[in-house]
């Protein structure tokens, strides 16, 4: 479902560390892949009063893998890639905005808005990505309400996105802890 193909994302042309595929859990699958050049990931609080930007350095790229479990961001940096994720259960909406030569996808949570600009020619179809995320979010939130007692993230509760935003790590081994 994505255009860039695994071969391009496994090379060191996108990230300085391991490929996005090597960072996933063994049974996790990518359904959609989004690529950007220098924009990386922008996170704004819901009120718009603060903004954090995580941009690739040098010739590296930003990737957003939409897996069967979450949205997994890896921002290529010469000094070590930055990694973050948003669980589907935290997403309240997802939208696509097109303007001129630019496409961006916005993922909304209760407290934050995550903006990822997309290089369309190397990415999955943005409309299909948003549709998938909305469906998975609705499923996860339905399951979450049914199982309210189980709230730990699969990557550890101190690593999940929460009211303060996602936790960024530079060492992919930290995701297993």
Which tops the pLDDT comparison, 56 or 99? 56
Report the C-alpha gap between 43 and 41 in whole angstroms.
Answer: 7
Is the dihedral angle over the CA atoms 130, 27, 169, 14 positive or is it negative? negative
User: Is 9 in contact with 21 (CB distance < 8 Å)?
Assistant: yes
Distances (CA, A) of 96 to 14, 99, 140, 153, 175: 23, 10, 21, 27, 29
What are the tens digits of pLDDT across the range 112-139?
Answer: 999 999 998 889 999 999 999 999 999 9
Average pLDDT for 58-80:
93
What are the tens digits of pLDDT across the range 14-62?
Answer: 899 888 888 889 999 999 999 998 899 999 998 878 999 999 999 999 9
User: Is 9 in contact with 72 (CB distance < 8 Å)?
Assistant: no
pTM over 0.85: no
Residues 6+ apart with CB under 8 A from 150: none
Mean pLDDT, the chain, as a whole number? 79
For residue 91, the cross-strand partners are 109
Q: Which has the closest alpha carbon to 165: 53, 19, 26?
A: 53
């Amino acid at each position: 479902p994505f255009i860039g193909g695994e071969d391009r994302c496994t090379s060191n042309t996108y990230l300085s560390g391991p490929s996005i595929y090597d960072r996933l859990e063994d049974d996790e699958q990518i359904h959609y892949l989004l690529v950007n050049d220098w924009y990386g990931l922008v996170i704004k609080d819901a009120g718009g009063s603060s903004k954090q930007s995580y941009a690739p350095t040098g010739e590296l790229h930003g990737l957003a893998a939409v897996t069967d479990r979450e949205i997994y961001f890896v921002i290529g940096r010469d000094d070590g890639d930055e990694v973050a994720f948003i669980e589907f259960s935290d997403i309240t909406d997802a939208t696509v905005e097109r303007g001129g030569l630019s496409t961006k996808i916005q993922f909304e949570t209760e407290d934050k808005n995550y903006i990822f600009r997309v290089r369309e020619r190397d990415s999955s179809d943005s409309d299909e990505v948003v549709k998938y995320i909305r469906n998975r979010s609705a499923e996860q939130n339905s399951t979450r309400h049914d199982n309210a007692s189980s709230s730990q993230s699969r990557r550890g509760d101190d690593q999940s996105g929460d009211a303060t935003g996602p936790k960024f790590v530079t060492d992919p081994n930290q995701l297993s802890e």
